[in-house]
């Protein structure tokens, strides 16, 4: 389900004119779901998936990214940016952290909740 959500979000971002720089980007401490450029803004995108009507977890998957997970994503972003073997994207004017929750319904349709500048 997580992979399907990431694929869906990546397709939506590309269709909106974003550039995807990395998917499942590994650092020494973990993995970032998506790293993208929206204009001159470098965006670290955390994707959360869930099933509509599920009793496990919060009602909206995007709400599952609490303070501890936010700190972890910030740390991973710093590690990704500091990696010497990776050239920094040119023309970046700022950074942002977005969270995208994807709720899959029993009918196979997905409800996407994109929270820009989530933290």
* CATH number reported for the structural domain that contains residue 64 in this entry: 3.40.1350.10
pLDDT at 69: 97
pLDDT at 88: 73
Q: Which domain holds residue 39?
A: 2-115
Its pTM stands at: 0.89
Query: Among residues 30, 33, 9, 19, which one has the least CA distance to residue 92?
Result: 19
Own/partner long-range contacts of 33-40 (Cβ < 8 Å, ≥24 apart): 33/6, 34/6, 34/9, 34/10, 35/80, 37/89, 37/92, 38/13, 38/96, 40/91, 40/92, 40/93, 40/94
Instruction: Report in angstroms the alpha-carbon separations of 30 from 65, 73, 86, 111.
Output: 16, 9, 16, 27
Q: Which residues pair with 32 in a beta bridge?
A: 25
pLDDT digits (tens, 9 = 90+) for 29-83: 999 999 999 999 999 999 999 887 665 555 689 988 999 999 999 999 999 999 8
Number of domains in the chain: 1
């Amino acid at each position: 389900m997580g992979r399907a959500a990431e694929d869906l979000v990546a397709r939506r971002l590309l269709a909106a004119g974003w550039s995807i720089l990395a998917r499942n980007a590994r650092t020494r401490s973990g993995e970032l779901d998506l790293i993208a450029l929206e204009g001159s803004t470098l965006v670290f995108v955390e994707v959360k998936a869930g099933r509509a009507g599920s009793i496990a977890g919060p009602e909206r998957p995007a709400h599952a990214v609490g303070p501890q997970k936010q700190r972890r994503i910030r740390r991973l972003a710093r590690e990704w940016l500091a990696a010497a073997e990776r050239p920094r994207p040119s023309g970046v004017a700022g950074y942002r952290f977005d969270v995208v929750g994807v709720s899959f319904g029993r009918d196979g349709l997905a409800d996407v909740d994109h929270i820009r500048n989530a933290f």
